[in-house]
Structure 1
Amino acid sequence: MPSPCSSRCQAKGGLCVGCGRTLTEITRWSSMDERSQLAVMAELEGTKSTHSCPGCGNPTYCAVSAGEPISHCWCSQLTALPLGEASACWCRHCLSNRIGQEP
């Protein structure tokens, strides 16, 4: 499967601002099996979601909300999660915009 790289690569807090993948997902992409790649793509495209992002309203996926451990969630691969008062997890795009903005 082709990479979802958008050639706007900029790592911010462990997440690529261009494609929305974690640095771990980017590094492992070529060695991932197709099923794993499709799962990442579904999360990026919002076709696999657990709720709407409080920041933008788009569908987003949270493994914890799906009943899985935090270690299975893409956000556990980030260097730092911003604290906030959101009622639910943010999507990759909104979260990448928020990383580093809070004291």
Structure 2
Amino acid sequence: MKEISEWRLMNDEAHTQAIAQIQGTESTHTCERCGNPAYCAIDDNQQSCWCFELSKRDTSSLPEGKCVCRACLASLPPQ
């Protein structure tokens, strides 16, 4: 949602970076569930991450403190 609400305020470079993060071409780690590239803004020294904007998911099946990609997080049941 953050990307959508701020899209018109972003320049071309920011658009490219947001798309790369969403598609997994810019990553900070490997997803703990599927092994695909994933992006975590906290790992990229940001104050908040895209996942903070989503409804809470049951992450009890994941290793503590480990991030997953957008697809895997979306597949987890709501909390």
Q: Deviations over 1:8-34 (max 9, x none)?
A: xxxxxxxxxxxxxxx232343344321
From the superposition, tell whether residues 68 and 32 of structure 1 become closer, same or farther in structure 2 (CA, over 3 Å).
closer
What is aligned with 1:89? 67
Query: CA–CA distance in 2 between the matches of 1:26 and 1:76?
Result: 15
Alignment of 1:58-73 (within 5 A): 58-69=36-47, 71=48, 73=49
TM-score, length basis structure 1: 0.61
What is aligned with 2:29? 51
- List structure 1 runs of 4+ shifted beyond 6 angstroms: none
1:76 to 2:39 alignment: no
Deviation at 1:58, TM superposition (A): 0.3
What is aligned with 1:7? none
TM-score, length basis structure 2: 0.75
SS of residue in 2 equivalent to 1:62: coil
Residue-pair matches, total:
77
1:35 to 2:10 alignment: no
Taking only aligned residues, the RMSD between alpha carbons, in angstroms, comes to 2.0
Deviation at 1:39, TM superposition (A): 1.3
